[in-house]
Structure 1
Amino acid sequence: MSKHIAIAVFPGFQVLDLVVVTVFEVANASAGEERYKVSLVSEHGGPVRSSSGVPVTTEPFGDPAAYDTVLVGGAMEMLEYSPGLLGFLRQASVSARRTGSICSGAFVLGRAGLLDGKRATTHWAHARELQKLHPKARVEEDCIFIEDGNLWTSAGMTACIDLALALVEKDFGVELARQVARKMVVYHRRSGGQSQFSALLELEPKSDRIQRALNYAKSNLKKELSVDELADAAHLSRRQFSRSFRLETGQSPARAVETLRVEAARDMIESGRLPIDLVARESGFADPERMRRAFVRAYGQPPQAIRRAARQSA
């Protein structure tokens, strides 16, 4: 049976959030039948201009009970939201099977009073402001998406793809979600509890040579990864490499490698059932105690606490 998805937009919305439409479109193509019907809806219908100036055509809000899922997108800046939009979302939270937000759309849900007593996430840059505005919510700033009952929220920008893939998986199974991810040339969706941050993005190397060394390190975390080995990967002398690496990333090679190892270990801990000692070996730590110390430095808590949190979230 086809599921009707309504995506609510408003003047000044962020057009990137509409990439979720493609996830549902590809799900239909992969299944060979209409699994999803998608409607863009707004308070009055007609053209609605995004923050980039690109307009989209919308239908007026319908009866929320007619929709399986109602999602609301975000905006590049905080806006005033109309009583009509907020009222529609309140009704949808009761009548539709699921209600959710993309990126800073969580602020719209908050204004509608839908976050109280709920776990939620949003773009990491706005998470603390969301928590401040809605103290009765439990805002988790480092999650890709969160499902709390019939309320779904996602992190910023492209995390909406992970949210949509999770909805497809929930509705029609993991295999269809995998097919969609492959066709969209994205990783099969990141787990909801996975960090919004990427160590490689945080390091931001300026040159191809330092980027090459980091890529080599990420692909060979089980090796010792000495400075000489990384310098060879960058085709630089040890002295040139060490100086350039610190100038470009602000870190020593050893600290950067530890960051990559911690990120890889956290992914394994959150998404699998490998014993902690095996995770330590697979991510290149000499022993679990060394990994524990690295986790405390990076996250303020040991691997076991992160595994417990991931299981509770699941």
Structure 2
Amino acid sequence: MMLRVGIVLYPGFQVINLAVVSVFEFANTTTPEPLYECVLLSEHGGPVEASAGVEVKTQAFGGDAFDTVLVVGDNDAVDASPGVIAFLRASAQRSRRIGATCTGAFHLAQAGLLAGRRVATHWFHAAGFRRMFPEAKLEEDSIFVHDAGVWTSAGASACIDLALAFVEDDAGIDIARLVAKKLVVYHRRTGGQSQHSALLEILPRSDRIQKALTYAKRHLHTDLSVEDLANAVHLSPRQFSRAFREETGQTPAKAIEHLRTETARLMLESGRHPIETIARDTGFGDPDRMRRAFLRAYGQPPQVIRRSARAGA
């Protein structure tokens, strides 16, 4: 029997959220028999315009049964209409799964479905969500969260990770991996994985500084002194330090620590490596030094981040 997925749209929704449909479409071409039927829904039916101006044809809310109901997000975290709230409340009673992508979590919270539950949303709107819904347990740095049948994800491309998690839940990890491969994305990120990237925070203007960062990523297990980085791009240590700070706004040492903590966090979230091995392979040398860096970067020690990643998975 096919699993019916109802995707709730409303005027101004962010069109990237429809990437979940592609995940289910590719799952149907990967399993022996089609697994999903996707239905685009809205309060009144008919064409619904996204924030980008694209119109999508939808079916009006009705009495149809859905295995899974997802409400999508938008750019501004708008309030849900009374009709959407009523539909979500009813769906929570009759559907096996209910969830939200991006700021769709605001709609679930407005429907009273997130009190006491762990939840994720787009990092940009996390502070506002926490103020408006203190009864929810916001994990503002998580890619997606599953708590007692309610699934929520971070913004933008995180909806793909959430949909791949559904496929894994329904058809197994091997099918989910094949779907991810067909979509030319990495297999879904673990739920507790950070929404932020150190490399996105470091934006050099010149190829020379970018080359130094690439060298650093490949040699994190070494000491990586300023002299090492300067030699890699044929500058004196003084020239390199000055150029690096001018282009990135931070010292080479601070940037390297960011790269080390991000790489170590990814290894922690994979769950395959002992903390001592991670500390060695990312250049921290010992777990205590890595722990201090994690407290500075994330406010949490490595063990807590690993437990959060396992809970999200």
Does residue 58 of structure 1 match 2:58?
A: yes
Q: What CA distance in whole angstroms lies between the structure 1 residues aligned with 2:223 and 2:287?
A: 16
Does residue 27 of structure 1 match 2:27?
A: yes
| Alpha-carbon contact 2:77-2:125 (below 8 Å) kept | no
CA drift of 1:313 comes to: 4.2
Helix, strand or coil at the partner of 1:38: strand
Seen in structure 2, the aligned counterparts of structure 1 residues 57 and 235 have a Cα distance that, compared at 3 Å, is farther
Helix, strand or coil at the partner of 2:30: helix
What letter corresponds to residue 273 of structure 2 in structure 1?
Answer: L
**Which residues of 2 match residues 64-213 of structure 1 at below 5 A?**
66-213=65-212
| Alpha-carbon contact 2:190-2:309 (below 8 Å) kept | no
Q: What CA distance in whole angstroms lies between the structure 2 residues aligned with 1:70 and 1:130?
A: 21
Does residue 225 of structure 1 match 2:229?
A: no
Percent identity, please. 59
Large movers: runs of 4+ above 4 Å: none
Q: What CA distance in whole angstroms lies between the structure 2 residues aligned with 1:313 and 1:57?
A: 34
Helix, strand or coil at the partner of 2:70: strand
Task: Structure 1: give runs of 5+ residues left out of the alignment.
Answer: none
Range with greater deviation from structure 2 (223-232 or 137-146):
223-232
| Alpha-carbon contact 2:14-2:74 (below 8 Å) kept | yes
CA drift of 1:230 comes to: 2.2
What letter corresponds to residue 152 of structure 2 in structure 1?
Answer: T
Seen in structure 2, the aligned counterparts of structure 1 residues 80 and 309 have a Cα distance that, compared at 3 Å, is closer
Counterpart in 2 of 1:249?
248
CA drift of 1:147 comes to: 0.3
Q: What CA distance in whole angstroms lies between the structure 1 residues aligned with 2:156 and 2:234?
A: 35
**Which residues of 2 match residues 256-295 of structure 1 at below 5 A?**
256-295=255-294
Helix, strand or coil at the partner of 1:31: coil
Q: What CA distance in whole angstroms lies between the structure 2 residues aligned with 1:20 and 1:134?
A: 26
TM-score with structure 2 setting the length: 0.95
Q: What CA distance in whole angstroms lies between the structure 2 residues aligned with 1:259 and 1:248?
A: 16
Counterpart in 2 of 1:45?
45
Q: What CA distance in whole angstroms lies between the structure 2 residues aligned with 1:285 and 1:107?
A: 39
Q: What CA distance in whole angstroms lies between the structure 2 residues aligned with 1:80 and 1:292?
A: 41
Q: What CA distance in whole angstroms lies between the structure 2 residues aligned with 1:92 and 1:138?
A: 22
CA drift of 1:68 comes to: 0.8
Task: Structure 2: give runs of 5+ residues left out of the alignment.
Answer: none
| Alpha-carbon contact 2:41-2:60 (below 8 Å) kept | yes
Seen in structure 2, the aligned counterparts of structure 1 residues 232 and 62 have a Cα distance that, compared at 3 Å, is farther
Q: What CA distance in whole angstroms lies between the structure 1 residues aligned with 2:123 and 2:199?
A: 17
CA drift of 1:61 comes to: 1.6
Does residue 16 of structure 1 match 2:51?
A: no
| Alpha-carbon contact 2:11-2:49 (below 8 Å) kept | yes
- Aligned-residue Cα RMSD (Å) equals 1.6
Seen in structure 2, the aligned counterparts of structure 1 residues 234 and 46 have a Cα distance that, compared at 3 Å, is farther
What letter corresponds to residue 222 of structure 1 in structure 2?
Answer: H
TM-score with structure 1 setting the length: 0.95
Cα deviation digits, residues 84-129 of structure 1 (max 9, x gap): 1111111111101100001011111111111111110100111121
Helix, strand or coil at the partner of 1:30: coil
| Alpha-carbon contact 2:153-2:159 (below 8 Å) kept | yes
Seen in structure 2, the aligned counterparts of structure 1 residues 37 and 233 have a Cα distance that, compared at 3 Å, is farther
Q: What CA distance in whole angstroms lies between the structure 1 residues aligned with 2:264 and 2:47?
A: 47
Seen in structure 2, the aligned counterparts of structure 1 residues 266 and 183 have a Cα distance that, compared at 3 Å, is same
